[in-house]
Chain A
């Protein structure tokens, strides 16, 4: 069973601070990595994807991938109350199937 592990939460951060989320995966052959955001009662929506080692920035979000250590992380800079949500890490296998972590709840405190 391929596993995707996320830190237990929730993570509370003050407005304007950096939220840091981590995810580890077991399948060393995984090639594609995704971060989804899910608001309560809504469906997941993609916020970032990363395929290569290193950092990828998109606005206030930065994804970091380290394939050797098998982890992927997400940084949210200048956190806003609208960032309060559950963040799901997902890893795609060779059959194009996504394995999801259980998610990290982020609460941004005004």
Chain B
């Protein structure tokens, strides 16, 4: 049981390049989330998907787009990367009820030059 997986683990981009971060979960969870974590800033929600077919903006959505491809997969796309998007990105999933927890993937470390 892999839980939440993310690809790639590391990525270096030049300013203006685009890329897609992939996330998949095998726990049959309804809800999925994308966070970024920056030093001194904690985890901030970028986008989330409460259920298959729905997506909503979080705290810091600018510069990102997401796709909930199916129940298992939730991707995050940077259309034109900027140095301010240098961060560690975590995907998470949960059953989607109010009283339960989120499970995190291992993270993607992104450097934008």
Contacts and interface: CB of A to CB of B under 8 A. Distances in A.
A17 interface: no
Contacts of B102: 46, 98
Contacts of A42: 106-107
B45 A96 contact: no
B99 A103 contact: no
B97 A96 contact: yes
A96 B104 CA distance: 15
Chain A contact patch, size range: 20 to 34
Q: How many residues of B sit at the interface, in one of the four size bands?
A: 20 to 34
Interface stretch (B12-20, B36-44, B63-71, B75-83): B36-44
A81 interface: no
Contacts of A92: 98
A51 B99 contact: yes
A95 to B, nearest CB: 8
B50 interface: yes
Contact of A101 (B42, B48, B103, B107): B42
Interface in A15-68: 31-32, 34, 42-46, 49, 51
B31 interface: yes
A102 interface: yes
A99 B33 CA distance: 12
Contacts of B31: 96
B58 interface: yes
A103 B96 CA distance: 24
11 contacts: A31-B99, A43-B104, A43-B107, A44-B90, A46-B103, A88-B42, A94-B98, A96-B31, A97-B48, A98-B33, A99-B45
Interface of A: 1, 31-32, 34, 42-46, 49, 51, 88, 90, 92, 94-103
Given A44-B90, A99-B45, 18 more contacts: A31-B98, A42-B106, A42-B107, A43-B107, A44-B43, A46-B101, A94-B98, A96-B94, A96-B96, A97-B33, A98-B33, A98-B43, A98-B102, A100-B42, A102-B40, A102-B41, A102-B42, A103-B42
